[in-house]
Structure 1
Amino acid sequence: MKTRAEQCKDEGNKCMKEGKFTEAVIHYSEATKHEPNSAIFYSNRSLAFLKLDQLYLAMEDAKQAIKLEPSWPKGFFRKGEIEFKGGQYQQALVSYKKAMILDPSDSGILSAISKTNKEITKDNKEATRTPILYTFLGLLVGAVIVAADQFLTKAPALQFLPLQVLLVAGCGGIGFAVAKIKRYLIVSQRESCLEEPLDLLKEMGDKPEETSTASRQSPSSHTHHSQAAGKQRMRKGKA
């Protein structure tokens, strides 16, 4: 006879096979209520969140699975999957290698490590190649501008060679800067994927609380001020 938690897990597994990932999350969540110390349930829900592109929630469940079963390779493997999807390939490689230490015979882990190494190589090449490409394009645009100024206008604005060189170099510098900004935005976007999402209800709830606190304090402070002013007037009258 299966327990209620196992029944919920089976329902969640069925939903996963059918592509109903949101329903799977509900069933796995119910399973964790009945057996909160089961790493399998958290790992399964982590996968469901991953399929929904909820990387932060997926990571929280993966970490919980690792916490409950530190010697279970699936927890580290799940963590690596989330990091890989978020574009954090170096961190994913570390997680996969931890999983491999716990289970060296798992071909799935070895395949994931190989795939991650390829992505790291590709990403490093892209990070090196993009600034060079953008700089070259910038130099090319600068050269075209100088050529157009010299041959397509009656009175060239850039008559001196130093100015022409400066313009071409400036365009190349702009291209290099654009490439660096692009890379920064890519890295920032990857990092933000695993950050905790903003709780708008909580943020909105703080302000009314502050306002109500201020309003509660305001009458008493006003009364205190009025009493003090009255006492001061009485003392002046007696004097």
Structure 2
Amino acid sequence: SERYQEAVDHYTSVLAAHPHDNEVLANRSLAYLHLRQGPESLQDAALCVNLMPNWAKGYYRMGCALEECKAYKEAASVFAKVVEMEPENAEASGRLMKARHLLEMVMNV
């Protein structure tokens, strides 16, 4: 956990100089996910998507962040977009199935 906080701090300092670096935003989004900070992760992922709307990795990070925020319907929708962009992306397909399953569980409570 301490390592991930150090990573967030590092990426934040890099972003101060390069605020539109998608790779750094995606990496900080992932570090936030490891810290279970869904809203912060989602904010970085949304920036990625806005800066590079054709970059599947940004959408993937967004789906993961939405899942962390328990927004399963939105997560499934975003993972479906990743699968549409990259049909061979088995990881995204798996996350799509997981998000749909979690959504079903929530709906059936």
Q: How high is the TM-score relative to the length of structure 1? A: 0.43
Structure 1 partner of 2:26: 43
Structure 2 partner of 1:110: 93
- Listed as ranges, the gaps of 5+ residues in structure 2 are none
Whether 1:85 aligns to 2:74 is no
Label 1:63 to 1:111 Cα distance change in 2 as closer, same or farther (>3 A): same
Aligned residues: 109
Q: Distance in 1 between matches of 2:51 and 2:79?
A: 18
Q: 8 Å contact 2:60–2:79 — kept in the other structure? A: yes
SS in 2 for 1:20: helix
Larger Rg: 1
Q: 8 Å contact 2:39–2:69 — kept in the other structure? A: no
Asked which structure has the greater RCO (Cα within 8 Å, sep 6+), the reply is 2
Structure 1 segments (4+ residues) deviating >4 Å: none
Considering only aligned residues, what root-mean-square deviation do their CA atoms show, in Å? 1.6
Quote the offset at 1:30 in angstroms: 2.1
Structure 2 partner of 1:23: 6
Letter in 2 for 1:66: V
| Identical amino acids, percent of aligned pairs | 26
- Listed as ranges, the gaps of 5+ residues in structure 1 are 1-17, 127-239
Q: Distance in 2 between matches of 1:116 and 1:93?
A: 5
SS in 2 for 1:93: helix
Q: Which residue of 18, 24, 37 corresponds with 1:54?
A: 37
Q: 8 Å contact 2:76–2:96 — kept in the other structure? A: yes
Q: 8 Å contact 2:45–2:59 — kept in the other structure? A: yes
Letter in 2 for 1:76: Y
Quote the offset at 1:86 in angstroms: 1.6
Q: How high is the TM-score relative to the length of structure 2? A: 0.90
Q: Distance in 1 between matches of 2:39 and 2:102?
A: 22
For 1:112-127, list aligned pairs within 5 A: 112-126=95-109
